[in-house]
Structure 1
Amino acid sequence: MSIEESIQNTDTTSPPEPEPATETAPPVRRPRRVLRTVGLIAVAAVIGLVGGTAVGYGIQADREPTALPPLNQPGLAYPAKTLPKGQEPEPLSAKEDRQAKTQGDLRKLLVPKPAGARPEGADGWQSLSSYADDFTRPEGALEFQLDQGIRRIATRTWRVGEYKRVEINLVQYRATSGNGALEHVKRQQSIAIGEGKAESLGEPVKGSENGRYFLYPVHREAGYMDQYEARAFIQRGDIAITILMSDTRKIAENEIRSLAERQLGRL
C-alpha cells in the first residue's frame, strides 16, 4: 500500500466548510433625515420672512407719504374763521340758555304754591339726610344718591284744605358723575310700576322724553280715612323732578298732569 493510500484511508472525514459570513443590516436613519430636512425648511422660511419684511419696510420708508382722503363733513356748524367784529351771534339770553337757568338759584324754578295754599314743611333748600329719610330704606337711598353724584335739592311743599298735600323736589346732580338725574327717575318709575298699586304703567308727560305720572287706587285701612296718591317723575338735563300728591278724595288725572307739565316748563 502506498503512503498516499494510507493517508486517504486514515483521514476519511473532511472538516465542514465554513458558512459564508452574513453582514448585519445598518440601522434605519430615515426619521432623522426627515427631521433634519424639516428643520432646514423651517429655517429657510424664517430667513425668507425676515428678509421679505425688511425689504418691504425699506421700500415703504423710501416712498412719499400718501395723503388721507378728506373727512366727509361738508358745511360744519361753526365757521372756519372767526367772524368779523360786529357779526358775532348774540349770546343766548338767560331765558333761552337752559344751563344758565339751572346753574342759578334752583329754588326760583319751583312752581309757586297756588293761591289759598299754605306752606308746609320744607320750602327751599333741603338737606340730603332729610330727603333720604322720606324713603322706606333711608340708608340705601342715601348711598344711592351719593353714588349718583347728588349736588343739591330744592323743595316746595304746600297743603290745600285739611288733607290735600303736594310736594315738589328738584334734585340736581353733578355732570361729572354721569346721568344721575336719569338714573334716579328710572329707579323711581320702576318702583312705582313694581309696587303693583298703580292703575297703569304711567302716562307720558307732554314735553318730556321720559317723564311719566302715576295715579293710584284708593288705599283703605280700618280706623283711617281713605288715602289717594298721585306721583310724577321727570328728567330734564341734570335735574330730576319728583312730584308727590296725596288726598283723602280721588285725585283727578288732569290735576297731576297739569302740575307736572307746568313744573317741567319752568326748566
Structure 2
Amino acid sequence: MSTESADAAEPGTAAAAPPPANPFARPSAAAPPAPPSAAPDVPPPASPFAPPSVPPPAVPPQPVNPFAPPLLPPPPGSPGPFGASEVIEAGAGAVRKKPRFKVGTLFLAAVLAGPVVGAGVGYAVQASRPPTPLPEIAAPKLSYPAERVDAKALAAAGPQPLDIDGDLRALLVERPAGSEDRTDGDGDGWLSPADLAENYGDSAREFTSMLSEGFRRAAAVSWKSGDDLYQVTLVQYAPEATLKAITNAAPRSTVDADVSAIPGNPDSYLVIGRQPLHYARSTDTYYYGEALARKGNVVMTVAVYAKNPVDRAQLEDIARRQWEKLA
C-alpha cells in the first residue's frame, strides 16, 4: 500500500495546473482567509476582463533658459536656506559674533553723555560751596518839602510860552495898494503842508519832511505887481522843533546867486539870483530872489519871481517891514 498522497505528482512530471478560478463566483463566507505562505510572491493571474495596462506618457524635458545665470554653490559663510550664517563643526559649540560699535554711535553717545557729566560735575561743585547770603532790601525813604512851593518860581522853571502866539495872519506884511491878490490855499491866508509843498519840485518829499520836522501852522500873503510875483510866508514849528526851524531858515541853494544879510539883521539871508530859471513843466523863465529870517520858532520867507533881474532894494524893503512886524 502506497503512503504517498494521491495529490503528489510523480517525479519527473510537472504538477497539474489548477483549474482557472471562476471570476463570477462569490467568495465563501465559511472559509477563512489562508495564511500567507512563505513561498515567494507570485503575481495573481490577470483577469481576462481587466483593462490592459497602459504605460504613462513620457514627459518631454523642459528647455533650459539660455539667459539664466548658472547655479553656483553658495560661498562659505553665507546664510543658508534656513537662515544659518555660520557652519558649525561637529562637536563644536555655537559661535557668537562680537558686537561692533560704529563711529556715529560712539559720537552720539559722547554728545549725549557730555552735558550730563558736565551738569553733574557743576552741581557737585556748587553743592559743596557754602551759601552766599543775599543783601538786605534797601528803599529810599519818601520825603516831602516842608516849605510851600512858590507858584511864580515853578512857572519860571517850566516850559516857556511861545514867543509868537495868536493869529499869524495879523503879523503878515500888508500887500501894496493896486497889486493883484494871488494868495494860495483857500484864500483866507492859511496854508496847509500840501499847499507849501506845491512850491517845490519834489512835492511828496517836502510834504513828508514838513510833517516830520514839527510843522505847526503857516500863513501867507501873495500879490502880483506888474510882471513880478511876491509871496511872504510865516511858518511856525512846535516848541520842541526849534532846531528844525533854525535849519530851515537857511537858503536851499546859492548857486549863481549873490548872498548877503538883510540890513539891520545879521542873522538873516538875502539871496539874489544871477541866472534865469525855468518854471516846472514850462519853457518860461524867471529870476528868483529870497529873504530869510527867524524869530523864535517862526521862519519868515519873502520870495520874488521876476521876469527881469530882481530889484534888490525893493526885496530888502519888504523883508525889513516884515521883520519889524515880528519883532
Q: TM-score range by the shorter chain?
A: 0.5 to 0.7
User: What SS does the aligned partner of 1:134 have?
Assistant: coil
Per the alignment, in what secondary structure is the counterpart of residue 230 of structure 1? strand
- Give TM-score scaled by structure 1 length: 0.55
- Structure 2, unmatched stretches of 5+, are 1-149, 152-160
Offset, 1:224: 5.6
TM superposition shift of 1:210 = 2.3
Shift of 1:254: 0.9
Q: Is the 8 A contact 2:162 2:239 kept in 1?
A: no
- 1:105 maps to 2:167: yes
Report what 1:213 is aligned to.
Answer: 270
Shift of 1:185: 1.3
Query: Displacement of 1:180 after TM fit?
Result: 2.5
- After superposition, residues 71-86 of structure 1 pair within 5 angstroms as none
Give 1:254's aligned residue: 313
1:107 positional shift: 0.2
Give the unaligned 5+ runs of structure 1.
1-80, 83-97
Supply the distance in 2 between the matched residues of 1:184 and 1:136 (Cα, whole angstroms).
17
**Closer, same or farther in 2 for the Cα pair 1:203/1:220, shift >3 Å?**
closer
Q: In 1, Cα distance between the equivalents of 2:209 and 2:283?
A: 33
Query: So what's the TM-score if we normalise by structure 2?
Result: 0.46
Deviation, structure 1 residue 250: 2.5
Report if aligned partners of 2:256, 2:274 keep a CA contact under 8 Å in 1: yes
| Paired positions, count | 163
Percent sequence identity is 22
Please say if 1:116 is aligned against 2:178.
yes
Q: Which amino acid aligns with 1:121?
A: T
Structure 1 residues 2-151: aligned runs within 5 Å: 99=162, 102-122=164-184, 123=187, 124-151=189-216
Q: Which of these residues, 240, 262, 270, is aligned with residue 176 of structure 1?
A: 240
Higher relative contact order (CA 8 A, sep 6+): 1
- Between structure 1 and structure 2, the one with the greater Rg is 2
* Corresponding letter in the other structure for 1:258: D
> What is the Cα-based RMSD across aligned positions, in Å?
2.6
List, as ranges, runs of 4+ consecutive aligned residues in structure 1 with deviation greater than 4 Å: 223-226
Hey, what's the Cα distance between the residues in 1 that align with 2:241 and 2:305? 33
Who is 2:135 aligned against?
none
| In structure 2, distance between residues paired with 1:178 and 1:110 | 21
| Cα distance in 2, alignment partners of residues 132 and 250 from structure 1 | 25
Query: Which residue matches 1:234?
Result: 293
* Counterpart-to-counterpart distance in 1, 2:203 and 2:285: 26
Contact 1:231–1:242 (Cα < 8 Å) also in 2 = yes
In structure 2, relative to structure 1, the CA distance for the partners of 1:127 and 1:220 (3 Å cut) is closer
Question: How much does 1:178 deviate?
Answer: 3.5
Instruction: Return closer, same or farther for 1:228/1:151 CA change in 2, 3 Å cut-off.
Output: same
**Match of residue 244 from structure 1:** 303
Mapped to 2, the partners of 1:144 and 1:239 lie a distance apart of 17
